[in-house]
A and B are shown apart, each in its own frame.
Chain A
Amino acid sequence: MTDKVLMKGNEALAEAAIMAGCRHYFGYPITPQTEVAAYLAKRMPKIGGTFLQAESEIAAINMVYGVAAAGLRVLTSSSSPGIALKSEGLSYLAGADLPAVIINVQRGGPGLGGIQPSQSDYFQATKAGGHGDFRMIVLAPNSVQEMADLTVKAFDLADQYRMTAMILADGTMGQMMEPVSLNYGEPKKIEKPWAVTGTKCLRKHNVVNSLFLVPDELEQFNFARYERYKQIEENEVMYEEYMMDDAEICIVAFGIAARVSKNAISEARKQGIKVGMIRPITLWPFPKAPMLKAADKVKEFICVEMSMGQMIEDVELAVRCKKPVTLCNRVGGMIPSPEQVLASIVEASKKGE
C-alpha cells in the first residue's frame, strides 16, 4: 500500500498551489485547463481564500497584479490563446518586479487553434512573454507529481527573484491521472517590504510601478533585473539526464514529448542503439551546459517537440553547432508516437556508418 493518491495533473497543481500558501486565484474558462479553476472554485471558499472568475484573461492577470502588489501569493491559469491575452499583464508584472505564478496548459495554435495538447507556446513562454526586455522562469513538468512539485517551486522562485514563474504544461499533463504524494511542509515566507499594504503612517509610501520616463533610470532597472536573471541562470537550472552515460544519440524533449521519448529509448536500447535524453525541466533558464558537454560525445541531437521547431533553436545555440540537431515533431494537437521517435533514432544511428 502507498500514501499516494491518483489525481489529475490540473488538480494536483491546484492543490499544490494551496499548499504553497496561495489563497488567491483569478481566471477565465478555457479548455483544457478548466479543472484548475473548477478545483479552486470548490477549495478556496473553504479555506478562506479567493476564487474569482474574471470577465476576461486580461482582467484576471491584472487582478493577479493587484494581489501580487499587496504582497500575497497569487495564481492564474489559462491555455494558449488566453495566455496571449495575458501578455500585457506579464510585461507589467515584470516591469514592476512582482512575483506571480502563471499556468499555461497549452493547446494547438495559432489563432483559436484546437484544444488538444501542444508545445507550440515555447517561444511565447521563453522569449516573448510580452513587450520589453524581460524573462519568466519557465518550468515544464512531465508527470502529475511534477505538476504539483514544480508549482510549489514556482511560487518559491517567483518570490525569491520577484518575477513571474510559468508552468508550461499541456493538455495531456493536465488531464492525466497518476499517483502523487503532496507533502511540502510550511510554505516559504519571504519578506516583501515593497508591498502596498498601507503605510500605517509608519513609512514612506510604497509605489508599485513600471513607468520610468527617464531613460537612464529605466536602463538601470533593466540592468539590475538582468543581474538577477544571471543569478537564476547560474543557480536554478533543472534538467533530467536519462541513459546519457554511454549515449551516442541525445534526445532533447520536455513534457509529454519526453514521456513518449522514453518509450522510444527503451525500444532503441533493445535494438542495441545507444541513445539517451536530456530533459529540460526549466525551459528558462535553459540547461545549456549539459547539452554542450554532451556535444563532445554524442554524434547527433534529436529534438522531439510538439511545435514546428521552437526549442530546437535553443538546443542548436546550446551545442554551438558542434553536432547536428534534427527535429522530430508533430503539431496541431498531435503527439508524436514512440514509433516515430524510434524511427528518428534509428535513422540517426545509421548516419556515418
Chain B
Amino acid sequence: MFDTKQVLFAGFGGQGILFSGKFLAYKGLISDKQVSWLPSYGPEMRGGTASCSVIISNEPVGSPIVSTPNILIAMNLPSLDKYEPTVEKGGIVIVDSTLIERKVNRDDVTVYYVPATQMASDNGIPTLANMIIMGKLLSVLGEYDEESIMATLGKVISARHKDMLDLNLKALKLGMEA
C-alpha cells in the first residue's frame, strides 16, 4: 500500500505500544524488508505516554524517526490530539474507539475505529487491545497471513511465555475481523 511504511504507535504506558511496534518491525524483517524501531524513552516513557516509530521499507532506512506517519495507531486521546495533524495526506489512522470518544477531524486520511479495549475485555484478553488493533492494521494492509504472523510471534514472544502465543493470535484474529 505504501512504498515505505512510516508507522507511529502512540498511547500510554502499559498498552503494549512498544510491543506492537516490535511485532510489526519483526514481521517486516521476516519478509526481507528494511526496518527500524525507535521508542520514546526517559521520563516521558515513565510519565505515562509512550510512542514508537517503526519504518518498513524496500530501501535502506534513513532517519528512524517518524515525524510524518502514513500510519498512525492512536490508543488514547492525547496521542490522537498530538499526532493527528502530522499524518501524511492519504494516510491511515486506526483509533481505539473505546478510549477515544471523539472522531478524527481530518478528511484526507482513512480512519478505522476499533473498540479494541472493549473487545479485549469482552474476550478475556484485557492486555491485548494493542494486538487487536494490529490485526486490523494487517487486514487493512492486506498483509494478514498466518504463516508470517506465527513466525513473527515466535520471534517476539519469549519461550517462557509460550502460552501468550495463542492469545496473541486470538487478538489478531479478532482485529482482522473487526
The range of chain B's interface size is 20 to 34
The total of interchain contacts (Cβ-Cβ below 8 angstroms) comes to 70
B42 at interface, CB cutoff 8 A: yes
Q: Most chain-A CB neighbours within 10 Å: which of B29, B63, B64, B67? A: B63
> Considering the chains assembled together, what is the distance between the CA atoms of A122 and B65 in angstroms?
22
Interface residue A263 (Cβ < 8 Å from any Cβ of B):
yes
Check A338–B63 contact: CB distance below 8 A. yes
Is the CB of A21 closer than 8 A to any CB of chain B?
A: no
CB < 8 Å neighbour of B42 from A1, A5, A32: A32
Say yes or no for B169: interface residue by CB 8 A criterion: no
Asked if A175 and B41 sit within 8 Å, CB to CB, the answer is yes
Per DSSP, chain B at the interface is mixed
Closest-by-CB residue of B relative to A115 is B42
- Contact residue among A5, A116, A176 (Cβ-Cβ distance under 8 Å from B38): A176
When distances are taken between beta carbons in the complex, the residues of chain B under 8 Å from A175 are 38-39, 41
Q: Are B62 and A338 in contact (CB under 8 A)?
A: yes
Contact of A6 among B22, B62, B63, B67 (CB under 8 A): B22
With both beta carbons as reference points, the residue of chain B lying nearest to A266 in the complex is identified as B62
Q: Is the CB of B143 closer than 8 A to any CB of chain A?
A: no
From the candidates B29, B30, B65, name the one contacting A335 in the complex (CB within 8 A). B65
The yes or no answer to A4 lying at the interface (CB within 8 A) is yes
B37 within 8 A of A: yes
Interface positions of A from 144 to 197, Cβ below 8 Å from B: 171-172, 175-179
- Chain B interface residues toward A at CB < 8 A: 22, 25-26, 29-30, 32, 34-39, 41-43, 60-65, 67, 151, 155
Given contact pairs A171-B41, A262-B62, a sample of 9 additional A-B residue pairs in the complex whose CB atoms are under 8 Å apart: A1-B151, A2-B29, A31-B41, A115-B43, A175-B39, A176-B38, A179-B35, A259-B62, A263-B62
Residues in A lying within 8 Å of B, measured CB to CB: 1-2, 4-6, 31-32, 115-116, 171-172, 175-179, 256, 259-263, 266, 335, 337-338
